Structure 1
């Protein structure tokens, strides 16, 4: 999936399904519980497995290995399948949230312009990339996240309307009447991963165009039809982007407060997290692991882990404090994991956000999350993955290719490890 465009050109499907001219899977209407409907679900999985070796959970919520594609459908209507694609790194669509074809040169995707390479086309290609980059941020990232967070463009936040699952009577809910937003939590977590890249994109845009400058109309665009008109305003996008970051950063504290209320009610999620905490503590003891874990203020929705750097590695001697915040809607909303100890690492963002992917078959198992965090810290030779660029500066050093880049990275990492020992709270 890295940097590639997937087109499904010909499909034989034993179900009421068709594939559009651009590879879009369309499932035809039919009885909800019919045999053909069930076959449609199998067909979708088959198509996905051709690209991703193993869909890793139930057909009603297909979780695929990796981080670039997510697919989901409701049991109430498996004919309506939603898919989300993360925009490839180093394209105008970088880390946007899409349902479309993507490439480094989108100009060539237009019918009749596949081989256009005159000087005028090269100028138009650059102009087209500039406005797609701007609109990728504005529409696919900023507008989407503002909608999820109840934020208006001026920064005013409306109530999210989220409710504790234990307060909801499932019998009173018509599932088909509830907006289907399966990627809300995923987009929030990926936003935290890619925040520094979004800011870098804005700085690049500011260096190329001026606020208020009009988009250039392409030769394949026509007024009042398919024209992408507008003006650049990266200053405004940056302000809105920072508002989104502040709103997402505030959610874990709200979860902690909701979690204490859930604990007092002995809600299902609170009891489950408390039980899992006790199991993890026992597991650490049995394995004779040096790491420590405790609940902040006795709250099962806030875990604090002390990670001891593995001997004979760049982390040797380091002491790192890691906080895991859980939502009362866990596991539908996955934990937010942040390193409170400063560390310079290619899988840890500047604000401490950890970039990891737990076992998709065990998303509800907190231990699998902890194991995934420890795994990326202790990985000796990680493979380059442009979808996991959460610390652009560290990533450039680690995979930059220049002779001294890796040495510079190791020195920065070691300095942060030494600092972690000095700064660790008593």
Structure 2
């Protein structure tokens, strides 16, 4: 899937995953390779998983110990003091892909209203408000990205550097595969043009799956 790789930390433990997040192209994090640990509680999906970065990440929403602070992973409770709406918090319809895409989005667009790392938040706002003239925040990120590239090389991982490589596209390589879904529906099902339904007689005549014929 686009932007990240996941695998089990141990084959016999479905509740703990190793995650590698690639920095999005055309952002400060371009070329980055950030490792993280994702843990699922026994009550999942009714309770959210947690994410802790194993790679050093200087970011307004990442604590010093690597714990990620993001609304989508906060329990679905009504907490007016947090400034978060209930709809912004965890709900069981979320999955690993939506979580990690939210993390990737957060890399480039930090939430500075309730930062986990105040110093990083102040530094980021200076960089943003100066339109990149204040380089302190940018230089730290570039240094971490450079370190991530070295780690990726050691792991034998190729980091996507372009949007085309970053966004994985499904390809059908089998020569016999039929990729025209319109033809699939028309050829395999005899549709009644008048009412867009399959009549019982047409279904019985066209379906050989239950009569033992091949």
Superposition TM-score tier, normalisation by shorter sequence: 0.5 to 0.7
Q: 1:396 aligns with which of 122, 125, 135?
A: 122
Q: 1:323 aligns with which of 37, 52, 62?
A: 37
Q: Which runs of 4+ in 1 moved over 3 A?
A: 359-364, 400-406
Tell me, what secondary structure is at the counterpart of 1:323? strand
Q: Deviations over 1:110-166 (max 9, x none)?
A: xxxxxxxxxxxxxxxxxxxxxxxxxxxxxxxxxxxxxxxxxxxxxxxxxxxxxxxxx
**Cα offset, 1:315, TM superposition:** 0.8
Task: Pick closer, same or farther for the CA change 1:364–1:350 going to 2, 3 Å.
Answer: same
Q: Deviations over 1:13-33 (max 9, x none)?
A: xxxxxxxxxxxxxxxxxxxxx
Contact in 2 for aligned 1:357/1:372 (Cα 8 Å): no
Greater relative contact order structure (CA < 8 Å, 6+ sep): 2
Corresponding residue for residue 98 of structure 2: 368
Q: 1:345 aligns with which of 39, 46, 59?
A: 59
**Cα offset, 1:397, TM superposition:** 0.8
Contact in 1 for aligned 2:52/2:67 (Cα 8 Å): yes
**Cα offset, 1:321, TM superposition:** 1.1
- The separation in 1 between residues aligned to 2:105 and 2:9, in whole angstroms, is 24
- The separation in 1 between residues aligned to 2:138 and 2:3, in whole angstroms, is 24
Unmatched 5+ residue regions in structure 1? 1-283
- The separation in 1 between residues aligned to 2:124 and 2:20, in whole angstroms, is 25
Contact in 2 for aligned 1:302/1:326 (Cα 8 Å): yes
Task: Pick closer, same or farther for the CA change 1:347–1:405 going to 2, 3 Å.
Answer: farther
| TM value normalised by structure 1 | 0.29
Q: Deviations over 1:220-271 (max 9, x none)?
A: xxxxxxxxxxxxxxxxxxxxxxxxxxxxxxxxxxxxxxxxxxxxxxxxxxxx
- The separation in 1 between residues aligned to 2:44 and 2:36, in whole angstroms, is 19
**Cα offset, 1:305, TM superposition:** 1.7
Tell me, what secondary structure is at the counterpart of 1:292? strand
Task: Pick closer, same or farther for the CA change 1:301–1:361 going to 2, 3 Å.
Answer: closer
- The separation in 2 between residues aligned to 1:406 and 1:301, in whole angstroms, is 42
Corresponding residue for residue 143 of structure 2: 415
**Cα offset, 1:328, TM superposition:** 1.0
Higher-helix-fraction structure: 1
- The separation in 2 between residues aligned to 1:365 and 1:296, in whole angstroms, is 21
Unmatched 5+ residue regions in structure 2? 73-87, 156-214
Task: Pick closer, same or farther for the CA change 1:330–1:320 going to 2, 3 Å.
Answer: same
- The separation in 2 between residues aligned to 1:330 and 1:390, in whole angstroms, is 24
Residue correspondences, number:
135
